[in-house]
Chain A
Amino acid sequence: MKKPIIITAALCLTGVILMGVLSGKDVEPGIVAKLKAKYSVKHAPSADHAGFEALKKKFTSPRQVTEACISCHNKRHKEVMRSSHWNWEREEYVEGRGVVYLGKKNAINNFCVSTPGNEGSCAKCHIGYGLDARGKGYTDQNNVDCLICHDNSETYAKAPDKAGAPEAALDLNAIAQSVGRPKRTNCGVCHFFGGGGNNVKHGDLEKALFEPDRDLDVHMASSGSNLQCVDCHTTKEHNISGKIYSLASMNQERSSCEQCHTAAPHGDSVLNEHTLKVACQTCHIPSYAKANATKMSWDWSTAGKLKDGKPYIEEDSMGNHAYMSIKGSFVWQKNVKPDYVWFNGTASHYLRGDKIEDTEKPLVLNPLHGSYADEDSKIIPVKIHTGNQPYDPVNKILIQPKLFSEKKGEGAYWKDFNWEAASRAGMKAAGLPFSGKVGFIKTAMYWPLNHMVAPKEASVKCGECHARSGGRLAGLNDFYMPGRDYSAAVEFVGKWLLLLSLFGVLAHGAGRILSARKHRNGENK
């Protein structure tokens, strides 16, 4: 009679396990298959520019190339000249302060701080030529640099410190005839090197992404789908989707995972439910700076030390700059586990001239908005870059120092190593007051991570967040998370209830054994 029950019980358990195994698929198979098919179709250009007469006459300056481009594409330059890539600013609505025009033109970060006064050097990453402090370069249509984005010969390169001009001795004709859809190399030459070196700023955008393997980035992998930047950062009239919140404020025109993968990409509904509160990136970017280190901290206050009257450089164990006389000390890290914050797509910014309320605690330059209670918020991974940067302790505003100059004696810090002179020149260029005093203040910036998406096998496992202690989300405490949180009272009462029950039955049982023995002994007598 016992057997059928054991068999039934065994069958039930097998049933549970079977259902579990069968329902255990991670990915909705249809979506990924369709995407793979879509992106395996090779891009076919609609024209061969090598055949155009306009590109055959000898070019002696890049401006002539632009002129030739405009002779056919006679409206495209107007689109470019409306874009933030060109203007280095765009309209942003910031909660509490209304519409501001924000961009590289006026933003302050905790890397090289700001562009005003330093255009000659910074313009290496401007999509134009002849950018100077007076903003002259912004109005001339022949200053549009078509080639930096559209060169497909991979030979075009901008010269350092030449206000946006390319290197001399380039074969401009060959380059002009090669033009086509932008590739990773076109975007990467600027975006991988922001902040003055490879992977300095973002942590998830760096030169290893020119030819990444699948482990580094599952989308851009050369041997895989080999996606180009513009496949996701879709573009309309030279307006490229995607925002980085060092400069952006509004939740719009963002490039997202969902635009391809949908909001319910998993086969498992519990995982799909996570997408309501957890951004894709949170689980799928387990670490950043996977190939080369990224800068985590920049301390300007130590800059200016000279050896024999000359600036010098020291390297850390990974070969990154640990100290530069012109910039101060740096901390670099590789394979970094992200920090996590709630984010609803809006941010505010420290804008130039803003009074610093509390100079004792670190000043966050781009606070990201969001919380568990906010319906639009999701948990996202970020890199937090900390700084120690110059500020005016009398006026209580951040200083925008003049760093770059061709010559000594113009106040540029990188030539004269004098904070007061550099601050005076920089603040003048920015149109801000300066008291003559220079102090240093701790700052922090948030860099949302969106790239270096790992293969699914490497994505963050449930237990890395749903853990009693030490989980990835240990710092986000405004909500209840299963596996991590509990009610101390219920835990206390529950544990004692179990212990007392156990103790009770053991004591009762022992009592029965003893009394049974006594009775048996009594009968024996």
Chain B
Amino acid sequence: MKNIKEVLIYSGFERFWHWAQAGLILFLAFTGFEIHGAYSFLGFGDAVRYHNIAAYLLIVLIAFAIFWHLTTGEWRQYIPTTKNIAAQLEYYVFGIFRNAPHPTKKTALCKLNPLQKLTYFSLKVFLLPATLASGLLYMFYRYPEGGTTGSLTIETLRTTAVIHTACAFALAAFLITHLYLITTGKTVTANLKAMLTGFEDLEGTECEPEAEK
């Protein structure tokens, strides 16, 4: 336990992006499941309207986030790796109950463990694009926008809608586990505090040396 310093692990933009995205996705889930007929709160029409607005905002946010990831090189943090993946899995299944230490060292340059890398990579490369694409198709399905211009012609909305719904269920399941896994940091609140303030008490900033060799 040496060299522990308070390190800035999440930059201002990253935190803004994270929380804005969290808020939008929660809002989209809330309105989306109402549109799906799961419950009635805003009323169908308003639920659709707000869902669409939030969707556009999310697209703008994602565009900024992609730019940020590319320009800062942060995207590299999400490249999946098999190294340590078994150890990480073992930690969540057994080690965590025995007070074992985290098998992966968290640093500013390597802030994701291999399971996180895999999850977030899948989220960003498969699930969110699939949700977005099916959502956009849903919006522009067969409809000439405002009665003026033509657009996509799909025979039925069913496939698009069912894919969009399936994505929503997957995202909701992610959300449940994600919210829980927040508590599995060094302390119960360490991860949450880091995402709110940007700072976490970490040892060093570099990635683990053996990762390089």
Name A residues whose Cβ lies closer than 8 Å to a Cβ of B: 1-2, 5, 8-9, 12-13, 15-17, 19-20, 23-24, 262-264, 268-270, 272-273, 275-276, 373, 461-463, 466-468, 479-480, 482-487, 490-491, 493-495, 497-498, 501-502, 504-505, 508-509, 511-512, 515-516, 519
Bound Cα distance A9, B21 (Å): 10
Bound Cα distance A486, B49 (Å): 20
Judging by beta carbons under 8 Å apart, are A482 and B36 in contact? yes
Name B residues whose Cβ lies closer than 8 Å to a Cβ of A: 15-16, 19-20, 23-24, 27, 35-37, 40, 43-46, 48-50, 52-54, 57, 92, 96-99, 142-148, 155-158, 161-162, 165-166, 168-170, 172-173, 176-177, 179-180, 183, 196-199
- Contact for B161 among A273, A466, A480, CB less than 8 A: A480
Chain A residues within an 8 Å CB radius of B57: 12, 15-16
Chain B residues within an 8 Å CB radius of A487: 158, 162, 165-166
Judging by beta carbons under 8 Å apart, are B54 and A512 in contact? no
Chain A residues within an 8 Å CB radius of B155: 373
Task: Give min CB distance, B160 to chain A, whole Å.
Answer: 9
Bound Cα distance A272, B144 (Å): 9
Judging by beta carbons under 8 Å apart, are B144 and A276 in contact? yes
Chain A residues within an 8 Å CB radius of B97: 511-512, 515
- Contact for B180 among A264, A466, A509, CB less than 8 A: A509
Judging by beta carbons under 8 Å apart, are B45 and A463 in contact? yes
Judging by beta carbons under 8 Å apart, are A505 and B177 in contact? yes
Task: Give min CB distance, B24 to chain A, whole Å.
Answer: 7
Judging by beta carbons under 8 Å apart, are B48 and A462 in contact? yes
Judging by beta carbons under 8 Å apart, are A273 and B143 in contact? yes
Judging by beta carbons under 8 Å apart, are B161 and A485 in contact? yes
Known: A480-B158, A486-B37. A498 touches B169 (CB 8 A): yes
Judging by beta carbons under 8 Å apart, are A12 and B23 in contact? yes
Closest partner residue, chain B, to A5 (CB atom) = B19
Closest partner residue, chain A, to B172 (CB atom) = A498
Bound Cα distance A276, B156 (Å): 14
- Contact for B145 among A269, A486, A504, CB less than 8 A: A269
Q: Which 7 A-B pairs have the closest CB atoms?
A: A494-B169, A264-B147, A505-B180, A273-B143, A462-B45, A462-B44, A480-B158
Judging by beta carbons under 8 Å apart, are B53 and A486 in contact? no
The interface centre, meaning the residue of A461, A487, A516 with most chain B CB atoms within 10 A of its CB, is A487
Bound Cα distance A463, B47 (Å): 10
Bound Cα distance A519, B100 (Å): 11
Bound Cα distance A243, B171 (Å): 51
Judging by beta carbons under 8 Å apart, are B50 and A497 in contact? no
Judging by beta carbons under 8 Å apart, are A9 and B19 in contact? yes
27 inter-chain pairs at a CB distance below 8 angstroms, sorted by A residue, are: A5-B19, A9-B19, A13-B27, A16-B27, A16-B54, A17-B50, A23-B49, A263-B147, A270-B52, A272-B147, A273-B144, A273-B145, A273-B146, A276-B143, A462-B48, A466-B35, A480-B158, A480-B161, A482-B35, A487-B165, A494-B172, A497-B169, A501-B173, A502-B176, A504-B177, A515-B97, A516-B99
Known: A2-B197, A12-B24, A16-B57. A483 touches B36 (CB 8 A): yes
Known: A20-B46, A494-B169. A515 touches B99 (CB 8 A): yes
Bound Cα distance A262, B146 (Å): 11
Known: A1-B196, A276-B143, A501-B177. A483 touches B44 (CB 8 A): yes
- Contact for B37 among A9, A373, A484, CB less than 8 A: A484
Judging by beta carbons under 8 Å apart, are A24 and B197 in contact? no
Judging by beta carbons under 8 Å apart, are A493 and B169 in contact? yes
Chain A residues within an 8 Å CB radius of B146: 264, 269, 272-273
Bound Cα distance A466, B35 (Å): 8
Known: A272-B146, A497-B170. A482 touches B161 (CB 8 A): yes
Judging by beta carbons under 8 Å apart, are A468 and B173 in contact? no
Chain B residues within an 8 Å CB radius of A17: 50
Chain B residues within an 8 Å CB radius of A480: 156-158, 161
Task: Give min CB distance, B126 to chain A, whole Å.
Answer: 16
Known: A269-B145, A273-B143, A479-B157. A8 touches B20 (CB 8 A): yes
Judging by beta carbons under 8 Å apart, are B98 and A515 in contact? yes
Chain B residues within an 8 Å CB radius of A270: 48-49, 52
Known: A2-B196, A12-B57, A268-B49. A461 touches B43 (CB 8 A): yes
Closest partner residue, chain A, to B43 (CB atom) = A463
Judging by beta carbons under 8 Å apart, are B166 and A276 in contact? no
Bound Cα distance A485, B158 (Å): 8
Chain B residues within an 8 Å CB radius of A468: 37
Bound Cα distance A467, B36 (Å): 9
Bound Cα distance A509, B188 (Å): 11
Task: Give min CB distance, B34 to chain A, whole Å.
Answer: 8
Task: Give min CB distance, A43 to chain B, whole Å.
Answer: 31
Closest partner residue, chain A, to B180 (CB atom) = A505
Bound Cα distance A501, B171 (Å): 11
- Contact for B148 among A20, A264, A495, A502, CB less than 8 A: A264
Task: Give min CB distance, A19 to chain B, whole Å.
Answer: 5
Chain B residues within an 8 Å CB radius of A15: 57
Judging by beta carbons under 8 Å apart, are B169 and A23 in contact? no
Bound Cα distance A264, B144 (Å): 10
Task: Give min CB distance, A500 to chain B, whole Å.
Answer: 8
Chain A residues within an 8 Å CB radius of B165: 486-487, 490-491, 494
Bound Cα distance A69, B120 (Å): 85
Task: Give min CB distance, A488 to chain B, whole Å.
Answer: 10
- Contact for B183 among A5, A461, A509, CB less than 8 A: A509
Judging by beta carbons under 8 Å apart, are A490 and B54 in contact? no
Chain A residues within an 8 Å CB radius of B99: 515-516, 519
Chain A residues within an 8 Å CB radius of B199: 1
Chain A residues within an 8 Å CB radius of B176: 498, 501-502, 505
Bound Cα distance A269, B52 (Å): 11
Bound Cα distance A495, B44 (Å): 22
Task: Give min CB distance, A239 to chain B, whole Å.
Answer: 29
Bound Cα distance A263, B146 (Å): 9
Task: Give min CB distance, B95 to chain A, whole Å.
Answer: 11
- Contact for B16 among A8, A23, A505, A509, CB less than 8 A: A8
Bound Cα distance A461, B47 (Å): 13
Bound Cα distance A20, B43 (Å): 13
Task: Give min CB distance, A510 to chain B, whole Å.
Answer: 11
Task: Give min CB distance, A280 to chain B, whole Å.
Answer: 13
Judging by beta carbons under 8 Å apart, are B157 and A275 in contact? no
Judging by beta carbons under 8 Å apart, are B53 and A19 in contact? yes
